[in-house]
Structure 1
Amino acid sequence: MKKNRIVLAGGALLVIAVAAIILIGVGSGGVQATDNAYIKADMTAVAPQISGVIRKVAVRDYQPVQKGDLLFTIDDRELNAALRQAEADVARAKADIHRIQVLLDAHKNRIRQAQAVLKVDEANLQLARANQKRFRSLAQEGSGTEQDQEQADAVLAVQRATFKRDEEALQAAHKQEKVLQSQLDMARAALTAAQARRDRAALELSYARVTAPVSGVVAQRLPREGSYVHAGQTQITLVPLNTLYIEANYRETQLADVKAGQPVNFRVDALPGIEFRGHVESLGPASGVSFSPVAPHNATGNFTKIVQRLPVRIRIDDGQPQAARLRVGMSVRPEIHTDQ
């Protein structure tokens, strides 16, 4: 009998212990807690956009930097030479445009002169036709001489030839104008291309100075003076400590009443005795195992149900001086107040 009482008492204690563990790990009432939570940040990987030899490293490990601060530089001598060549190409293209424009303006003046000459030729031609008609009439009436008529015919022939010559010269001038205009268009296109090459060279030169894209702390620093780096290869990782957040992996059974905006109290293992504040920012759209490359589902017929965990992002509230001591990767125990 006594033995049974001991067994019953042990069983009761076991049940109480299990319940206590569940209450501590899962939460009770209007509070949901978990130990599966860590501080995270959207870290920025900094990589050069050109390859080259490191000329100077301007930061140290774990150094705070502001957006735009210089991180390191790459040898830019070849890039400077390329920029000067591109600027010379732009200057040459502008000179070509100016030369062709001068030729085109002068040619337009010649066209206007040729048009004026053609108008004079047209007037002379009309006069020669009138004289030729008049002298012919006089010759037929016997009032004029045959010599005057022949002279009028000759003058008319000369004026016709002159008009035709000057007309063809004007047409040729118009064709030459089109050629010069085409050359001018080509020169302007060449200038546009030269300017694009110059801008590209200036852009590549700017890539030789690698600056911080965001404010943060230098977490990883690979470049060393004299080493060769490749474009696109991460050299420095920046951690923005002012935008830290908590990623808490809650059991799916805990999330029935969890909503964005609910207040959160959390403690950090590395900072005992300090309680921080935050709030739920968002709930993950899928469990962590959903992104696993190997499907976790058992299709053999022997099925064991496993409670899944879903990530909850918790934003750390501003105005907490001690929050400056938080670091990425620290273990956190958050408590979400689902009744608020």
Structure 2
Amino acid sequence: MADLSDQQNGGTDTSGDEHDETPAKAASPAKKRRIRAILLVVVVVLLVVGAIWFTRYQSFGKFQQSTNDAYVQADSVIVSPKVGGYVDKVFVRDNQYVRAGTPLAQIDSRDYTARAAQSQAQIGVAAATAQGVEAQIREQQAAITRAAADLASARADAAFARSEVARYVPLAASGAEPRERLSQLRNQATQADARVTAAQAALTSAQRRVGTLRAQIRQAEAQAEGAQAQLAAAQSDVGATLLRAAIDGRIGDKTVRVGQYVQAATRLMTVVPVDQLYIEANFKETQLGLMRIGQPVTIEVDALPGVDIPGRIESISPGTGAQFSVLPPQNATGNFTKIVQRVPVRIAIHADPETRKLMVPGMSVEVSVDTRSAKGARDRIAREQEKHNESIRR
């Protein structure tokens, strides 16, 4: 009986295995169909995504030129004194916002004020000298009048003496008058002519003396003009002792202190025009083919991740950064290794006031330029160049 039950149990187990294998065989093709369907959907989705990406790349993506070699810049003004001296006052604090014309610092002006007073005194001396010489000229005019009168008198005497000689010549010849008298008259006529010559020389000397005095006036006037120039320079130095802001901006890099002695052209502080920020982006030369002034730019500041700031290309540098470096590369000497050059591009920022407050010069940014507006330029350049080549070959 036990054997019979075992056989029955064994038969039962065998039939159970046969029943389990049949659904497994039936379920395998359905599972494969589901897998194939899933794979097909995945492939279709990938093809659709790829087609969308390719279409977007062809119409948009390949025209985007980006770089992270870009920084916020501002045309800052370095504040330096024109004259040297001890700093008397400092009117501003670090990072303070100032308007153009705001006093920044005061240098002790006493030395320059004294120089201005000295120049003013020299002007007074020159003016007094000129007035004294003019008085001498007026006196000399009287001397000229007297010399002219003396000359007229001497000429009259000489004329009378000559007439007497002429009258006595026939009388002496006839014996009516002695010859000694004629000799005396001739001697008097000679002396009268000499007096005329002397009076003429005195008149000429007096007249030339006026020219000498007028030259002295011109010399005094020249000295006055020189002193006036020195006064203007001294007054300019006095005005230069008060340093004012040339532009609106914030004070940065302030190193000046009260009591400090500063030389001319010493850097005291910097005025940063925070309202006139721009981006200087250094693009590779291979990225510039389609870049044009006025193209839109998307700016992302590292300090504001996820915030896109609009901008536009304002200008493109006329040379690479290496060309304007202190020591430009000399590729004609030594071994040559080609390096992709970078060209600075200036980008105007169109940010709202709140965003501008968070941006300062030196910040790193990433920019992307949309060059679609010039997408046909490369083909046009190629065609024009081909036409030019044809004209040269002809």
Q: Contact conserved, 1:289 with 1:296, CA < 8 A, in 2?
A: no
2:74 counterpart (31, 41, 46): 41
Structure with the higher fraction of residues in helix conformation: 2
In the alignment, which residue of structure 1 is the partner of 2:125? 92
After superposing the two structures, state which structure 1 stretch, 290-299 or 154-163, moved more. 290-299
Q: SS at 1:231's partner residue? A: coil
Is the partner of 2:361 in helix, strand or coil? coil
Q: Report what 1:311 is aligned to.
A: 344
| Aligned match for 1:232, one of 247, 261, 265 | 265
1:210-241 Cα offsets, whole Å, 9 max, x none, are 11222221112111111111111100111112
Tell me if 1:63 matches 2:96: yes
* 2:259 is the counterpart of 1:223: no
Deviation at 1:134, TM superposition (A): 0.9
Shift of 1:89: 0.8
Q: Measure how far apart 1:33 and its partner are.
A: 2.0
Superposition pairs for residues 74-223 of structure 1, below 5 Å? 74-141=107-174, 149=182, 152-153=185-186, 155-223=188-256
The whole-number CA distance in structure 2 between the counterparts of 1:119 and 1:281 is: 87
Question: Residue 321 of structure 1 corresponds to which residue in structure 2?
Answer: 353
Q: CA deviation at 1:324?
A: 3.2
Instruction: Give the drift of 1:65.
Output: 1.8
Deviation of the 1:259 alpha carbon: 1.3
Give the % identical residues.
Answer: 32
- Alignment partners' CA distance in 2, 1:289 and 1:176: 71
Q: Structure 1, residues 19-51: CA drift from partner, whole Å, max 9, x if none?
A: x9xx99xx8233222222111012111111221
> For the residues of structure 2 that align with 1:182 and 1:80, how far apart are their CA atoms?
32
Structure 2: runs of 5+ lacking an equivalent: 1-52, 374-394
The match for 1:8 is none
In the superposition, relative to structure 1, how do residues 133 and 299 fare at CA in structure 2: closer, same or farther (>3 Å)? closer
Task: Indicate the SS of the match to 2:372.
Answer: coil
Q: How many angstroms apart in 2 are the aligned matches of 1:286 and 1:159?
A: 92
Counterparts of 2:326 and 2:199 in 1: how far apart (Å)?
Answer: 87
State the TM-score, normalizing by the size of structure 2: 0.71
Per-residue CA deviation, residues 157-207 of structure 1 (Å, 9 max, x unaligned), is: 442343233123223324433432333333223222222222221122122
**RMSD of aligned alpha carbons:** 3.2
CA distance in 2, matches of 1:254, 1:82: 60
- State how many pairs are aligned: 316
Name the aligned partner's letter for residue 271 of structure 1: L
- Letter matched to residue 193 of structure 1: G
Q: Work out the CA distance in 1 between the residues paired with 2:290 and 2:150.
A: 97
Cα offset for 1:114?
1.4
Show structure 1 runs of 5+ residues with no match: 1-19
Residue 61 of structure 2: SS of its match in structure 1?
coil
Match of 2:284 among 215, 240, 251: 251
Matched, 1:262 2:295: yes
C-alpha deviations, 1:290-334, integer Å up to 9, x for none? 538595989669x6x6544332111224x8434532211222222
Distance 1:273 1:256 in 2: 28
- Distance (Å, rounded) in 2 between the aligned partners of 1:30 and 1:322: 31
Compared with structure 1, are the counterparts of its residues 277 and 108 closer, same or farther at alpha carbon in structure 2 (3 Å cutoff)? farther
Q: Determine which structure has greater relative contact order: mean sequence separation of CA pairs < 8 Å that are 6+ residues apart, divided by chain length.
A: 1
